[in-house]
Structure formats: structure tokens, C-alpha cells
A and B are shown apart, each in its own frame.
Chain A
Amino acid sequence: MLSATDLVVRLGSVTAVDGVTLSVERGEMVALVGPNGAGKTTLVKALAGLVRPASGTIAVEGRLAYVPEGRHLFYDLSVEDNLSLGAWRGRDRNPKRIYEVLPGLAGLARRRAGTLSGGQQQMVAVGRALMADPEILMVDELSLGLAPIVVSDLADHLASLHQRHGLALLLIEQNARLAFDLCSRAYVLENGHIVASGSSAELERSEQVRRAYLGVGSTPSKVRSREGDSSESARRDGSA
């Protein structure tokens, strides 16, 4: 229901996404993992139609919604207003149905979004995306800057949305452990290329993936040097 073929996205003179082919089927939960600066955010922005690709095709069947990295709420508006604006292109602007799915938000309805904690803001961001009644939801960096317990709570919510409403999910994550636990299938993006893909179980068994993303079988110093590399490339593509 969402597919990209040979997608190339350039940011200025930098090719951030270079020939990516991926797909998410109806009702599927798929993860996109990769280091900082691999081009993940640029890729989802292109999938969301916010960045025009240089070449390649994107096909979307059904409604698609997007939770951007860093949440990007309307901080001076109330939670309720944030939610109802999520339905800008839809019909039903009443956020009540979101309170049923994410009950934690009901009590925050009148609060200004800027005054919420990070976890609460992330929940509002998810809720706002759900207001568009999507059949596929892309979440960029769900776990970023949040405490593990908050992340697992949010992950539970997403999993139950998937199970109960058949929502398809594309989860963009640096935290590969979380991504593999949640999703059945995953892609690994490095330097704008898909370097590995397959079921989460397969990828978890792969030596290469284990070493780079799960911190297994590698020395700490190696991990650090890899992070050094990636932060540099992040600066280059400007998405960080």
C-alpha cells in the first residue's frame, strides 16, 4: 500500500537518499533502521510528499499520516486544537475518537502543547496524525529523547492500533532493538542505501546487524567510531 521504487532525493548537492526501493503492505508493521544521518528522515519526508524526489516513484494507496521527528506540535495551541488540526484534510475534526484510542490525552485537552512533557507531546503528535484517519502511519523517531518506560507505553499503543484497527506502520528508528521487537520486517538504511532487509528475526540473527545496531559482539570503541562517522554525515545532509 506504500511503495517506493529507485527513489533518489537530493538536498542541495548532497544525495541523501540514493536508489531506495521499499514497500509496506496493508496492515503490516515495518521498521526502517539506520544510524543518524543515513537519510531516514529525508526518505520519510519524501514518502510523506514534503520533499520532491529527484527521481524514482512513490505509490501510496489509502490515507497516509506522518509523525515527524522532534514531534513538531503547534506549541502555543491547546492539545485539543493540535488534534483537530490533524484533520485539516479530513472531515471529522472532533478529537473525541482519539481520546478513546489514547485515553491519556483526554485529561490534557485544554493544556497548551508547549507545557507538556516529552512523552505527552509524542502522544499528542501520534494522536494528531491519527486524526487524519490514516490507513498507514509513519512515525519518525518515536523513542528520541524519551525515557524507556514512556517509549514502551507509546509502543504498546501503536501495537494495539495495529492489531485492533489494522493500521499499517512504518517506524523509523535509531533504536534497532525497539524496532525489531515491534515490527515483523525491517530495512536497514546506511548512507542513503538500503544495505539489508528482511524479517526482524533474520536481521537480528545477522552478524553485521547485530554488531552495528544491537551492540552485540562488538567492542565499545568500535561503536563509538561508527557514531563519529555518522554524526559527520548528519551534518552534511542537514537533516539532523
Chain B
Amino acid sequence: MSALVEYLISGVAIGCGFALVGSGFVAIFRVTEVINFAQGTFAVVAGFVAYSGLTSAGAPQGVAEALGVLAAGALGLAFGGAAIGRKHTSPLASLVITLGLAVTAYAGEIAIWGDQPISFSGLQGDFVLAGAHLLRQYLLVIGVALLVLLGLGVFFTRTYLGKGMTACASNRFAAEVVGISVRRMGLLSFALGGLLGGFAGVLLIPIQPLSFNSDIDLAISGFAAAIFGGLRSFEMALVGGLVLGVAESLVGGYVQASYETVVALGGMLLLMLWQARRRVELA
């Protein structure tokens, strides 16, 4: 019983991280129709910057993480400029560009932080729930992730800027008609994607050490979460992230840790195939 609770809570925490990465995919895809392959890079860079803030710059906990998230947002903006800054770049070309950027970022990450996994301790201590000893960091991850996603929801449905971005997602031509610059909104969505990835990075790095090439795993898991809602719904990205996180955690706990990725990836593949089949039937 206590083992189950432990797996569930840790799965939910990891799943919240996936949901954040996935929301980054959604934020960018909705506005630009681009799949940002470098979504995992934002998380890695944010985690690394926070680490440097804590260790080299001596920034207090909290400030260092905030710096990391902001750095990821800035990186998102820069990547967006390359991926959609030039006119007439098709979405698939943008995907290949972001893939190239992710690989280029490896070089920068290795040069600054080396090629070994990095971690730092987050919220100290643990708590007991139903007989299970759990890290406090799990609660922090879950709490912050839910707050961020809630804020995201408020941003898109309540603020004028957010509605403008939703308008681009809804009908690009109409957005241009009323004078919204779809390209500028696209850049903004990349910055938002960077921030979301950044949150995932600084929250997860105390639980799972990250190395420069952790971005692929993060991106794949985030993509799997985002695909739950067809890359268009933040709520479904959260659901997807939670399902994925808990499933991985249970498989890792009860079957074998090394099968985690197979389950996640297999699930994502099946889901995509099911969606494709449904699209064909509808059409």
C-alpha cells in the first residue's frame, strides 16, 4: 500500500513535469503549427542555469530557479526567431530547424556545464502519507505546475493578449484581418514555450539529474502528453502528462524500471495511430 502511494505521488509529480513540457508544445503549436523539437532543451537549460545560479553565483533558492526559467524564456524567443522569423518557412521546415537548434544547443551546454549529469537539491526533507515516505519536492512540483497551468489558462481565456494568441490559433487569416501580427504572436508563443519548459526543468532537476541530452526524453514525454489533446488543448496535455507519469512510475515500480520508456513511447505511438485512424474515419 505504501509503495503504491509512493509510486502514485511520484508519478503525478513527474507527470506534472511532462505536462509543463507538453504545454510548451501546445502553446507553440496552436499559434504557429510548428512542433518545437527543442522543447526539452528549454528544460535542460533552465535547470543548468538555476544550478549555476545556486553554485557559482550564490543566488538564493527560488531566485536561481526564476533565473533559469527566464533564461529558458529568452532562449525560446531566440529559437522562435530562427524557426519562424523568416517568411514562408513551412511548419515542417521549422521542425527541422528546431531539431538543428537543439543539437547546436548541446555544444553550448557541454561547453558551459560539461557532459556529466547535473542536479541540485530542491525542497529539503520528506513527509509521510499513508505510510509512505515522500519527498517534499514532489509536492512543490505538483503545486507549482498546477499554478503555472492555471495561470496559463487564465492568460489564454481572460487576458486580451492571450485571446489574441487564441485568435491566431483559431483563424490565422482572420487574425491578420483584424490587425494581429501572427508572426509576432508566434514569437511570443515560443517565449511562452520556453518559460513552460523552463518551469519543468527547474522543478524536475532535483528529482531527476539532467544532462545535456536529457532533452530528447523530456521532449518525447512532453510530446506524448501534448498529443493527448491533439497538440491543441492544455487541459488534455495535463491529463496526458499525469497518465504518462503515473503509468511510467507504476511500470517502473512493479515491473521493471527500464521498461518505463517503452510504455511511454508505445502509448504515444498507439495514441497517434488511433487519432490518425479517427481522422480518416471522420473525413
Contact = CB atoms under 8 A, between A and B. Distances in A.
Given A84-B160, A93-B160, A132 B171 contact: no
B178 A88 contact: yes
Interface residues of A, number: 19
Contacts of A132: 178-179
Contact of B167 (A68, A74, A89): A74
A50 to B, nearest CB: 6
Main secondary structure of the interface of A (DSSP, over half): loop
A85 B178 contact: yes
B177 A50 contact: yes
A122 to B, nearest CB: 14
A200 B170 CA distance: 39
B155 interface: no
B177 A48 contact: yes
Interface string B145-167: 00000000000000010011011
B163 A85 contact: yes
A74 B171 contact: yes
B174 A68 contact: yes
B207 interface: no
Interface string B168-200: 001101111111100000000000000000000
| Interface magnitude class on chain B | 10 to 19
Nearest to B232: A76
A48 B174 CA distance: 12
A50 B176 CA distance: 7
A75 B175 CA distance: 12
Contacts of A72: 171, 173-174, 177
Nearest to B163: A81
Contact of B177 (A66, A77, A93): A66
B174 A88 contact: no
B164 A88 contact: yes
A48 B167 CA distance: 19
Given A68-B173, A84-B160, A93-B160, A74 B180 contact: no
Nearest to B174: A72
A86 B176 contact: no
A74 B164 CA distance: 10
A33 interface: no
Contacts of B177: 48, 50, 66, 68, 72
A76 B233 CA distance: 12
A74 B170 contact: yes
Interface string A26-68: 0000000000000000000000101000000000000000101
A76 B166 contact: yes
A88 B179 CA distance: 6
A93 B164 CA distance: 12
B164 A85 contact: yes
A128 interface: yes
Interface in A113-136: 128, 132
B163 A73 contact: no
Contacts of A81: 163, 167
B179 A74 contact: no
B166 A86 contact: no
Given A84-B163, A88-B180, A76 B170 contact: yes
B163 A77 contact: yes
B177 to A, nearest CB: 5
Given A68-B173, A72-B173, A128 B160 contact: no
A66 B174 CA distance: 10
Interface string A158-201: 00000000000000000000000000000000000000000000
A76 B179 CA distance: 19
Given A68-B174, A84-B160, A77 B167 contact: yes
Contacts of A86: 178
Given A77-B163, A84-B160, A84-B163, A89 B170 contact: no
Contacts of A85: 163-164, 167, 178, 180
Contacts of B164: 85, 88
A163 to B, nearest CB: 26
A73 B174 contact: yes
Nearest to A74: B170
B175 to A, nearest CB: 8
6 contacts: A74-B166, A75-B171, A81-B167, A84-B163, A88-B164, A88-B180
Interface of B: 160, 163-164, 166-167, 170-171, 173-180
Given A48-B177, A50-B176, A74-B171, 20 more contacts: A50-B177, A66-B177, A68-B177, A72-B173, A73-B171, A74-B174, A76-B166, A76-B170, A77-B167, A77-B170, A81-B167, A84-B160, A85-B167, A86-B178, A88-B178, A88-B179, A88-B180, A89-B179, A93-B160, A128-B178
